[in-house]
Amino acid sequence: MLSVTGLEKRYGAVDAVADISFDLEPGSMAVLVGRSGSGKTTLLRCLNGLERPDSGTIRLEGEPLGRTDAALIFQEGALLDGKSALENVLDGGLARESAWRELLGWHTAAEKRAAIERLHAVDLAGCAQQRVGDLSGGERQRVGIARALHQEPRVLLADEPVASLDPVTARAVLERLASVVRREDLVGLVSLHQPRLAGEIADRYLGLADGRLTLDAAAADVDPERIGEVYNVPA
């Protein structure tokens, strides 16, 4: 279980994340909702270790969350366009490698086989050698998922991963993300602005308003009205 307790992150006078506590189970997908500026990105960055919280603890199965335990998928994938899909996925594993390998970007045959497997998991093994810059938006986001998986995370995070995709492609990418989380028994947490898409993949909802957690409930117990309350607008 991922346990977040009393998490706080301030930027000057702004409480971006204010005393947040929640638990998430492995093998289930949680969706993070909230208005723009409510603290979603800050929370995800704290979980991924990109931001250092001012206070609070983040534990996985009782131990402090390690540097490589969580992988974050960004809105635009944060991929290198000039490199192939396979090379981008391989780069995802570099944080686990020794410093000299990381420096040289040198990969073993076993690493390459594993990276192809990750592409296979998102139905993109056929695109392994293609330049990422030549792929469609949906394919790029699936490379982003494969890259994150190659970090071998136990917590898979995504910050508005389908914001730039059409609804049909967005849904396919999210379904792929949710199925990977469930199959590989990961803790999944994804921020989304599209409540309808959220409803199709969420096992659980977390809602933020002004940095505070105002919703923490199983998807079965959440109706559109409750989500509207998080956004402070009628459903």
Ligand X SMILES: Nc1ncnc2c1ncn2[C@@H]1O[C@H](COP(=O)(O)OP(=O)(O)OP(=O)(O)O)[C@@H](O)[C@H]1O
Query: Could you say which of 3, 5, 8, 14 contacts ligand X (CB under 6 A)?
Result: 14
Q: How does DSSP classify residue 66?
A: P
Q: Rounded to the nearest whole angstrom, what is the least distance from the CB of residue 38 to ligand X in the complex?
A: 4
Query: Could you say which of 42, 48, 88, 151 contacts ligand X (CB under 6 A)?
Result: 42
Instruction: Tell me the pairing of strands 2-11 and 14-24.
Output: antiparallel
Q: Which amino acid is at 112?
A: K
Segment near ligand X (CB under 6 A), from 32-40, 88-96, 125-133, 219-227?
Answer: 32-40
Query: Could you say which of 2, 39, 79, 139 contacts ligand X (CB under 6 A)?
Result: 39
**Contact, 189 vs 44, CB < 8 A?**
yes
Structure tokens at 139: 């394919």
Q: Does 209 bind ligand X (CB under 6 A)?
A: no
For residue 151, give the 3-state DSSP assignment: coil
CA–CA gap between residue 25 and residue 162 (Å, rounded): 23
Considering the complex, state which of residue 34 and residue 92 has its C-beta at the smaller distance from ligand X: 34
Considering the complex, state which of residue 40 and residue 118 has its C-beta at the smaller distance from ligand X: 40
Q: How does DSSP classify residue 65?
A: P
CA–CA gap between residue 197 and residue 169 (Å, rounded): 11
Structure tokens at 166: 């059409």
CA–CA gap between residue 170 and residue 184 (Å, rounded): 21
Considering the complex, state which of residue 115 and residue 208 has its C-beta at the smaller distance from ligand X: 208
Number of CB atoms found within 10 A of residue 101's CB: 15
Binding residues for ligand X, rule CB under 6 A, total 11
Considering the complex, state which of residue 37 and residue 137 has its C-beta at the smaller distance from ligand X: 37
Segment near ligand X (CB under 6 A), from 33-41, 61-69, 131-139, 145-153?
Answer: 33-41
Considering the complex, state which of residue 58 and residue 85 has its C-beta at the smaller distance from ligand X: 58
**Contact, 72 vs 158, CB < 8 A?**
yes
Q: Where are the beta strands (DSSP E) in 132-211?
A: 155-159, 187-191, 204-209
Query: Could you say which of 28, 38, 84, 88 contacts ligand X (CB under 6 A)?
Result: 38
Q: Rounded to the nearest whole angstrom, what is the least distance from the CB of residue 191 to ligand X in the complex?
A: 7
Considering the complex, state which of residue 115 and residue 197 has its C-beta at the smaller distance from ligand X: 197
Query: Could you say which of 7, 20, 34, 207 contacts ligand X (CB under 6 A)?
Result: 34
Interacting residue ranges for ligand X, rule: CB under 6 A: 11, 14, 16, 34, 36-42
